[in-house]
Structure 1
Amino acid sequence: MMEVSFLATLALFAATMTGTPGPNNMMLTASGANFGFRRTVPHLIGISLGVASLIGVVAAGLGAVFQLYPWVQEGMKLLASAYLLYLAWRIARAGAPSEDASSDRRPMTLMEGALFQYVNPKAWAMAVSAVGTFTLAGGDYWLSSMVIVITFLIVGLSLTSIWAGFGVWVGKVLSSEKSWKVFNRVMGTLTASCLIFIWV
């Protein structure tokens, strides 16, 4: 039987992991500002589903691959770093939404948001920590794993929505093409700085 204190601690852990600055939230802020909340929703849902499914994968035992084959994790870090730098570059070079209206710029899709979690070492570390800390032994293992997945879905979707909403607010404040370019360059730089979370 799971006590209220267990659920509260799990929810706080999920909030700390999903609500603090990181690559997902930096990209959501930039997306909210540039594309609006509605067009950012698939990206939001993709992140939450990606994290939740990753926790399920780790709970099923596949997280042990990192312990058996450390080179897999190192390769994933390199892949994640390259992709994150590419995304940061795309954000940084963007102008005002009106300026880019005829370009091929678009927010990330649900699938892209979900798959990014599988090359995001921070997401893997979060999943491993959640499963290692909050799963219960014996017959309650799978029930507790499901509770972790559901908690991260609810808490994560709620808090990442705030980051996207913050981006929407920023988008309304920015009034000139110059301010848009400065904002996007700052967000691109902050996204690139999230490499720290990958390698530390």
Structure 2
Amino acid sequence: MTETILALLIFLFPLAYSPGPGNMLFAANGALFGFRATLPASIGYHLATWIVTLGLGFGLLGVFETWPMLFPVLKTAGAAYVLWLALKLWRARTSTSEQTPRPASFTDGVMLLLLNPKAYVIIALMFSQFLSPAEPHVLTAVLLITTVFTLNNLVAFSTWTLIGDCLARVFREDHSAVWLNRSFAAILVGVATWMLVA
């Protein structure tokens, strides 16, 4: 079991820590609002991750096989949602302005996971590699894989959030904060484009 967990973590490392919609959103929120303010969105995202991963582990992936048109719909909706978040970040004022934006909410975290088709692909790939059809304790194996996957993502997202928070401490002045917000917004636009074309 320990070997399986280690192999799973090695498999997930580049997927979890590379720049993606979740990591960039949390880095941007960490930069704009600080680590603590991102906790509701993080709870939403990772609770949704655990539930969706558990469901896919128990065979809900068949829904996509039955209705293949759901995947491109999710892909487009997910990219649109990330673009909307990028627009909010681009328009974000500095902390000294009258109209200070709100950090991402619990619902934003849930929606980011639900509308990210890449997450479904990664989860399906993960189960195809680490869950054997002949597994005698399927329930235990699915729970273990789901929990390791979710906790690994939580550590990755928390790392990116702290990076964003640290960057904001370096760029304290208003003009620097605006530059930082717009840089993260541009990265999110790139991520949304990648979601559409990949």
TM-score by length of 2: 0.91
Alignment of 1:32-51 (within 5 A): 32-51=30-49
Q: Which residue of 1 aligns with 2:172?
A: 175
Q: Which residue of 2 aligns with 1:143?
A: 140
Cα 1:198–1:135 shift into 2, 3 Å: farther
Partner deviation per Cα, 1:112-161 (whole Å, 9 max, x = no partner): 20232111011111111122221132432221111111102221111211
Aligned match for 2:86, one of 88, 99, 105 = 88
Number of aligned positions between the proteins: 196
The one-letter amino acid paired with 2:107 is M
Give the CA deviation at 1:74.
0.9
Are the counterparts in 1 of residues 94 and 100 from structure 2 also a CA contact under 8 Å? no
Q: What is the SS of the residue equivalent to 2:103?
A: coil
The one-letter amino acid paired with 2:51 is S
Partner deviation per Cα, 1:6-33 (whole Å, 9 max, x = no partner): 1101112233222211011111111011
Aligned match for 1:114, one of 110, 131, 134 = 110
Q: Which residue of 1 aligns with 2:127?
A: 131
Are the counterparts in 2 of residues 31 and 107 from structure 1 also a CA contact under 8 Å? yes
Partner deviation per Cα, 1:82-131 (whole Å, 9 max, x = no partner): 111111111112122222xx436211222320232111011111111122
TM-score by length of 1: 0.91
CA–CA distance in structure 1, aligned partners of residues 125 and 16 of structure 2: 13
Q: Identity of aligned pairs, percent?
A: 26
The one-letter amino acid paired with 1:82 is A
Q: Which residue of 1 aligns with 2:181?
A: 184
Gaps of at least 5 residues in structure 2 are none
Aligned Cα RMSD in Å? 1.6
